[in-house]
Amino acid sequence: MKQEIIKKDNITFSLTTVAANKINTAAVAKVNQFLPEIEEKTRVFDRNNSQTTLGLMTLTMLNGQSPFRMMRQVMAEIEKRKMALAEAQVSHAKTVKEMQELEGDVDPVAEAEYRQKSVSLSTMENKINGSFKDVATLIDQYNNIKAANNIDEWDEEAFEAEEKRHHVRRGFELMYRNILDGGRAQTATIEYLQQHGVHPQVALTEVSGYVQHSAEQIGKGDLLHSNHLEDFLDQMADKYRGNVDKTAERLFGKSDFVNKDYMLKLESKDDC
């Protein structure tokens, strides 16, 4: 039989007669009057991030706008919340059981413990609700990313195939940030580009030219959108992605060095 969560009237705070003369009764009355509303509105913030922050920041952090990387981040974020929900259901069940054991007990300590667990249960349920909302939001973003990039089905092989382009794009993105931040390429960016076959001086020239061109447009009054930068990075990724193959040939003797036998492959729908 499904276990019902203990429900009572709004429980705020209660004081024994002995303690009542030591506590400001006006403050207690104010708390008891408005705390239910505050608790209700707190449910708006039942998770760490808003949907906007989760979509625009969390999914692109260290990934740029690589669709496969963003989808991987979706899965990582969902996995964290799945584990949290698994742990929360145990704590929730224990709290409900403890409240059932305390219900009806007229001992002052038992009554205070009951009220404490009521508050804990309410907070816990808000957090659980927030986790479910996060997972639902992430699933929406996963589907949006697939639709925006015309991705139907994909597997590990498809992810690996996109990795070369992602790293080249990321290298140019870091170079752009270096130039804006300090006017020069940082050692880590130089190494990153070189690892993926892009000559650092070529990248520096390309990005410096873009920075100058953008500055000229802004000087003329054009209010550039960040999509202007993303389009430039896409162009650089497409232009230099082949450099990764040349580096792989130098290092491993072949451009396609990943072993597909180790990958989790998508089953054909015809085989289902």
**Per residue of the chain (272 residues), what is the pLDDT tens digit?**
344 434 444 445 555 555 556 777 787 788 778 877 877 777 777 677 788 888 888 888 877 889 999 999 999 999 999 999 999 999 999 999 999 999 888 888 998 899 899 889 988 888 888 899 999 999 999 999 999 999 998 989 889 989 999 999 999 999 999 999 999 999 999 999 999 999 999 999 999 999 999 999 999 999 999 999 999 999 999 999 999 999 999 999 999 988 888 887 766 555 54
* 254 and 200 in a common domain: yes
Q: Determine the pLDDT at residue 55.
A: 86
Cβ atoms of 203 and 235 closer than 8 Å? no
242 and 127 assigned to the same domain: no
Residue 146 contacts residue 60 (beta carbons within 8 Å): no
Residue 7 counted as domain residue: no
Structural domain of 235 = 156-266
Q: Are residues 174 and 142 in the same domain?
A: no
- Residue 110 inside a domain? The answer is yes
Domains: count for the chain: 2
The pLDDT assigned to 4 comes to 43
What CA–CA distance (Å, rounded) separates 118 from 111? Answer: 11
* pLDDT recorded at residue 239: 98
- Note whether 91 and 170 are same-domain residues: no
Euclidean distance between CA atoms 260 and 187, whole angstroms: 33
**167 and 254 co-located in one domain:** yes
Position 133 in a domain: yes
3-state secondary structure of 96: helix
Inter-helix orientation angle 156-182/242-252, to 10°: 110
Q: What is the pLDDT of residue 3?
A: 43
> How much is the pLDDT for 217?
97
Contacts 24+ apart (CB under 8 A), 198-201: 198/168, 198/171, 198/172, 198/240, 198/243
